[in-house]
Amino acid sequence: MHIANKMEGYPDDFKTIRQWSKEGMLPKKGIEGTICWSNSYCQIKSVYYRRDEVEQVSKDKLREFRRFCKENKLKKEKSRNNYVWWSNKDDEPYKSEEIIYIPDKRDDAYEKRLLREASKLNANRIKNETKLIVIDIESTGLNPDNDEIIQISIINGNGNIILNSLVKPYWNTSWVLASNVNHITTEMVKNAPSPDKLIPIVKGSVESAASIVFYGKTLDMDLLSRWGVDFNNKNIIDVAEIYAKKYSTWDKYFKQYRLKKLKDAAKHYGYSFKEHDSLEDAKATLFVFNKLIYEGEIII
């Protein structure tokens, strides 16, 4: 995930909606913005907008927006959720004239219905004597409501590959910012299997295991849940949280340990790899996981 102060244009041309509102600007209708970590501690996510994604608005609209902020406090935009805003005056389904925050209206798109149908597919039978799997994904972005998986890798407790595949997304057609990180392009996935071809394998992999290992579980589990993957009654192990508890520092403000990047955790143990490739990340996660078991930090 990107850190805001590392992004091109920050801080003058890459800001949150509140920061732009102080200059009399708000995001253009339909613009989603970019979710980034707000600081290098990677504790809070916010939605940022570039200068070409905002526009000058009237004083009346600014007052409406500020009134909304005051009344609803935005709840920090629920951190991971990416919202767009506009006045209801121009939107037929809405009758109130208040400024509201609503999710991107693609929720009922045909392609999303395809995913909902695919999520109902049954699991394949997967043999896994280790009863443990490591899952890592790469995605088109960080919004679990609108972004999609474009690479998924699953290995068992011995490091053997159960699944390693690029994924052709249903509705995302461009992911420039994500591609700058994971180097996965639209050209690379155009002939890749779509989710419906992979969901039975993923479901079967999860069913074959008692313990599921991630390095940073939240986004991965959210996106996989949209695939219909059920993590109930599974022992979910987030290596990032466990490593941070042992080797990071306590953040008094956020009241939690500061998370470390996977590459830094792996480097601590002398392991090098090509990061942001889901298979390489999964192998690195398993390596760090085994080191933490050896140190007595994880008990299976």
pLDDT tens digits for range 133-162 = 999 999 999 888 889 999 999 999 999 999
pLDDT, residue 97, reads: 29
Q: Which of 98, 193, 106 is nearest to 152 (CA)?
A: 193
* CATH number for domain 112-294, candidates 3.40.50.1000, 3.20.20.70, 3.40.50.2300, 3.30.420.10: 3.30.420.10
| This model's pTM is above 0.75 | no
Q: pLDDT for 188-231, tens place per residue?
A: 999 999 999 999 999 999 999 999 999 999 999 999 999 999 99
C-alpha pair distances (Å), 72 with each of 66, 75, 77: 10, 7, 10
Q: Which of 134, 136, 161 is nearest to 276 (CA)?
A: 136
N- to C-terminal Cα separation, the chain: 29
Kindly tell me if the per-residue pLDDT of 288 is higher than 70.
yes
pLDDT, residue 76, reads: 39
Structure-token match 């995302």, residue found: 172
- Give Dmax (Cα) for the chain: 65
How do strand 149-156 and strand 132-139 relate by DSSP bridges? antiparallel
Q: pLDDT for 70-92, tens place per residue?
A: 655 544 344 333 333 443 334 33
Can you point out the beta strands (E) in 75-187? 84-87, 99-102, 132-139, 149-156, 161-166
CA distance 105 to 257: 36
CA distance 50 to 202: 37
φ/ψ of 277, rounded to 5, equals -110, 125
For the chain, domain boundaries: 4-103, 112-294
- How far from chain centre, in Å, is Cα 83? 15
